Amino acid sequence: MVGEEGVVAVVVREFDAKKDSSAVVNLEGRCEVGPSGKLSLFTDLLGDPICRVRNSPAYLMLVAELVVVAKGENHVRSEIVGMIRGCIKTVTCGKKFSRIPNNNNPLPLPLPLPVYTKLAYILGLRVSPTHRRMGIGMKLVCKMEEWFRENGAEYSYMATENDNKASIQLFTHKCGYSKFRTPSILVHPVFAHRVRVTRRVTILKLSPSDAETFYCSRFSTTEFFPRDIDSILNNKLNLGTFLAVPKGLYSAESWPGADEFLASQPESWAVLSVWNCSDVFKLEVRGASALRTGFAKTTRLMDRAFPWLRLPSVPEVFRPFGLHFLYGLGGEGPLAVKFMKALCGFAHNLAKESGCGVVATEVASGEPLKLGIPHWKSLSCAEDLWCMKRLGEYYSDGSVGDWTKSPPGLSIFVDPREF
């Protein structure tokens, strides 16, 4: 197109770390996540623009470059004005039932087995505030979907706050996505004091291989469960999988291993894993009034000075802060909610030792264990909107049918690599 400045074109191309890193980091720093105008969340990628996708099995980052050929000059000027990241992996989209006969029982009860699909995820879509409503966001999404299709992805999804009108309009009205799930992001501040953890439970740290056995046995039919769970559990950002059992049942020394535990499990137990997002990115809340920041500072000073009072202080979220993400939350039995609360307290204290600002998790809106996850409403998001699209009509419907039309389950597995 020809603008006042001369000939202008927007080129979408693959991100080049050597050439584009500083421009992309700069742009990220200028783009709020979610709607602008009120308190906004900003991300500091710690100098690594692909940090939020690099742990996925397949990923791509694209940038939109504005190229201007100045009128009457040979001079060409270019500027990065947008970006998008995407990744692809195999996840559970539903379950089927199968009877696997054995010598003892030729007609056993039907066993739920996972049905997998290749799923793509769009994240980190940003367009420079000075270049919005020019079709750049849509161009980036379309180009990313081309790569998804070329790599065999059957579905594509994205997550956004349910008040991010620009993003929702773009995906649902222009790109064919439909509203799919509304999980809750639950955020708890990390206090300056340690929180009390009930003494009625024993918390055991599972080895990555025990954790894998555990998750594959209990969660493999949960929506979004990643087939490469082993690479998550063995990633250096994974701080561990923790299991809460009734006090005295096992100690680290007497732990019999996941297989034996699952074969004769206690009436109640709960499990979660901790992912260290602090080493990947930092967050910052901007746009708060002086009154609000002043109040937060005062509560913090009091909490630091008198930790034994256990004052619920506001962490320093008005400057860059790190977080731990809790994932793979599950449990069974009448005390599962209590055990989950104990695990969350344990995770809080772990985050405090690491200097994090908050602990966050994301669970299905109907998750029964939600009651055991302490969080502050003011920091949380009751409905994180996930929108999904089927990328091609040529896929067979299989035993699940069109996943975009399936009803939600009680739980979902939120991949920590994508938070």
For the bound state, the minimum distance from the C-beta of residue 90 to ligand COA, rounded and expressed in Å, comes to: 23
Q: Which among 413, 390, 418, 419 has a CA at the least distance from the CA of 92?
A: 413
The single residue among 39, 41, 115, 135 that binds ligand COA, judged by CB under 6 A, is 135
Nearer to ligand COA, 52 or 352 (CB): 52
Nearer to ligand COA, 67 or 301 (CB): 67
For the bound state, the minimum distance from the C-beta of residue 130 to ligand COA, rounded and expressed in Å, comes to: 11
The single residue among 94, 114, 137, 328 that binds ligand COA, judged by CB under 6 A, is 137
167 binding ligand COA? (CB under 6 A): yes
Nearer to ligand COA, 63 or 296 (CB): 63
* Window contacting ligand COA (CB under 6 A); options: 165-173, 176-184, 268-276, 313-321: 165-173
Distance separating alpha carbons of residues 188 and 315, to the nearest angstrom: 10
Q: Which among 287, 364, 291, 355 has a CA at the least distance from the CA of 37?
A: 287
Count of CB atoms within 10 A of residue 389's CB?
21
Say which residues have a Cβ less than 8 Å from residue 129's Cβ, sequence separation at least 6.
30, 31, 36
409 binding ligand COA? (CB under 6 A): no
Nearer to ligand COA, 158 or 206 (CB): 158
Length of the chain: 419
Nearer to ligand COA, 338 or 417 (CB): 417
Q: Which tokens in the block code for residue 340?
A: 């989950």
The single residue among 164, 220, 222, 238 that binds ligand COA, judged by CB under 6 A, is 164
170 binding ligand COA? (CB under 6 A): yes
Residue type, 35: P
31 binding ligand COA? (CB under 6 A): yes
The single residue among 166, 203, 288, 337 that binds ligand COA, judged by CB under 6 A, is 166
Phi, psi at residue 141, to the nearest 5°? -65, -45
Tokens 């535990």 appear where? Answer: 261
What is the DSSP code string of 22-81? HHHHHHHHHPPBS-SSSSEEEEE-TT-TTTTTTTSSEEEEEEEEEEEEETTS--EEEEEE
Cβ pair 119, 155 in contact under 8 A = yes
Residues 101-130 binding ligand COA (CB under 6 A) are: 125-127
Q: Which among 20, 34, 19, 11 has a CA at the least distance from the CA of 285?
A: 34
Nearer to ligand COA, 342 or 385 (CB): 385
For the bound state, the minimum distance from the C-beta of residue 129 to ligand COA, rounded and expressed in Å, comes to: 7
How many chain residues are in contact with ligand COA, going by CB under 6 A? 24
351 binding ligand COA? (CB under 6 A): no
Interacting residues toward ligand COA by CB under 6 A: 31-34, 125-127, 132-138, 158, 160, 164-167, 169-170, 173-174
